[in-house]
């Protein structure tokens, strides 16, 4: 496949060079634009070739084509190329070796304890494709992050979509990408790391309001369904928590994590569907707390567990909330472009 990509890149370079040299009149410029459009439409038919192998250089070449072709494609094709880019990156990330990810993490971590000499020796043992991945890691819009418990992973940042697709999609789409990117930076990679929330409950509450506003203002945009999925996910984290950041907590005096309670109380003051949900939730908790505390006073771990099970059931049956997936980590951006790997150093 690499030979085909090289030939195509040469063709593209010659085409662009020719376009720069042939600006003698509007007719010639129009001819060049038409030729470029035809060329991009041909590429559109063969996007699957970029998913055939683990080939970081091919991904770079695809990104160059995105910059050239996306402005000339129809809106439907632009979304198709964006989806293709997610599949292409999924293939790249899913098949990146543990050794490469470990090297990248150690090379960018001054506290890794790995000497420069050892890093150089490791680098020299990688093949050309692996070295290309390392050398162009940031150019590929990739980011490493710590998932906790001495594990780490990599993902494609939402900055990719902002830069390469944002200017050519709807404003609502760009707004979606920008919020994704902001959340990535705040969470420093993943919202859940080692079964622990990487952001506080108040941040989750603020994100819930952001996505509610997005859905209210853009009910029928391309990413409206994704926004609704994010809203449900963050509601799940706020009202259920995760294993090491639980909301229902028998060790607390009133059975509810006080930081979660504060965030939910703040959310309840907003005139939004989630605000109304928070009010109903607070009423539910307040009407049950005395019974919970009385049962807890019996010092029965089994009964505490039964209460938590009932709490989880009530959140689902009374409020329509869905508990979070039982994963050790929540991938950045929570979309198909993210790898399912977890790497242990």
Residues 220, 207, single domain; the answer is yes
**253-284 per-position pLDDT tens digit:** 778 999 999 999 999 999 999 999 999 999 99
- Residue span of the structural domain in which 65 resides: 2-194+333-344
Q: Is the pLDDT of residue 31 over 70?
A: no
Residues 86, 171, single domain; the answer is yes
Q: Say which range, 79-88, 140-149, 230-239, 329-338, has the weakest mean pLDDT.
A: 329-338
Q: Say which range, 36-50, 127-141, 142-156, 220-234, has the weakest mean pLDDT.
A: 36-50
- Output the pLDDT for position 147: 74
CA-angle at 148, arms to 261 and 340, nearest 5°: 100
Higher per-residue confidence, 330 vs 37: 37
**1-23 per-position pLDDT tens digit:** 554 554 455 445 444 444 444 45
> Other CB atoms closer than 10 Å to residue 50's CB: what's the count?
24
Q: Domain total for the chain?
A: 2
Q: Is the pLDDT of residue 337 over 60?
A: no
Residues 167, 208, single domain; the answer is no
Average pLDDT, the chain: 85
The two three-digit tokens of residue 152, written as one number: 């780490």
Rounded-to-integer distance, Cα 224 and Cα 327, Å:
25
**173-197 per-position pLDDT tens digit:** 999 999 999 999 999 888 998 889 9
Residues 203, 188, single domain; the answer is no
Q: Is the pLDDT of residue 316 over 90?
A: yes
Residues 154, 290, single domain; the answer is no
Residues 267, 337, single domain; the answer is no
Give the chain's radius of gyration (CA, Å): 25
- Output the pLDDT for position 8: 53
Q: Is the pLDDT of residue 52 over 70?
A: yes
pTM to 2 decimals? 0.84
Residues 94, 204, single domain; the answer is no
Nearest to 82 by CA among 230, 223, 228, 218: 223
Q: Is the pLDDT of residue 331 over 60?
A: no
Residues 27, 58, single domain; the answer is yes
């Amino acid at each position: 496949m690499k030979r085909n990509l090289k030939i195509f890149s040469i063709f593209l370079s010659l085409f662009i060079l020719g376009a720069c040299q042939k600006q003698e009149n509007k007719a010639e410029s129009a001819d060049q634009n038409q030729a470029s459009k035809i060329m991009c439409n041909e590429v559109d038919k063969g996007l699957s070739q970029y998913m055939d192998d683990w080939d970081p250089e091919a991904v770079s070449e695809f990104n160059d084509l995105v910059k050239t072709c996306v402005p000339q494609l129809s809106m439907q094709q632009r979304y198709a190329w964006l989806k293709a880019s997610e599949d292409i990156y999924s293939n790249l990330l899913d098949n990146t070796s543990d050794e490469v990810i470990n090297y990248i993490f150690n090379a960018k971590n001054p506290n890794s304890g790995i000497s420069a000499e050892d890093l150089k020796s490791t680098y020299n043992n990688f093949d050309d494709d692996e070295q290309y991945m390392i050398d162009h890691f940031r150019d590929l819009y990739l980011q490493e992050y710590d998932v906790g418990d001495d594990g780490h992973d990599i993902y494609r940042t939402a900055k990719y979509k902002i830069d390469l697709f944002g200017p050519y999609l709807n404003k609502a789409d760009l707004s979606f990408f920008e919020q994704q990117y902001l959340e990535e930076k705040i969470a420093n990679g993943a919202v859940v790391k080692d079964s622990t929330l990487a952001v506080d409950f108040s941040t989750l509450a603020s994100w819930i309001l952001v996505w509610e506003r997005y859905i209210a203002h853009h009910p029928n945009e391309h990413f409206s369904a994704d926004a609704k999925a994010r809203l449900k996910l963050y509601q799940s984290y706020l009202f259920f928590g995760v294993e090491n950041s639980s909301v229902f907590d028998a060790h607390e005096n009133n059975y509810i994590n006080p930081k979660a309670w504060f965030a939910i109380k703040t959310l309840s003051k907003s005139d939004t569907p989630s605000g109304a949900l928070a009010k109903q939730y607070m009423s539910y908790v307040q009407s049950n707390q005395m019974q919970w505390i009385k049962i807890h006073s019996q010092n029965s771990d089994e009964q505490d567990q039964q209460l938590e099970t009932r709490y989880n059931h009530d959140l689902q049956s009374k409020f329509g909330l869905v508990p979070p997936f039982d994963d050790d980590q929540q991938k950045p951006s929570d979309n198909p472009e993210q790898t399912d790997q977890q790497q242990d150093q």
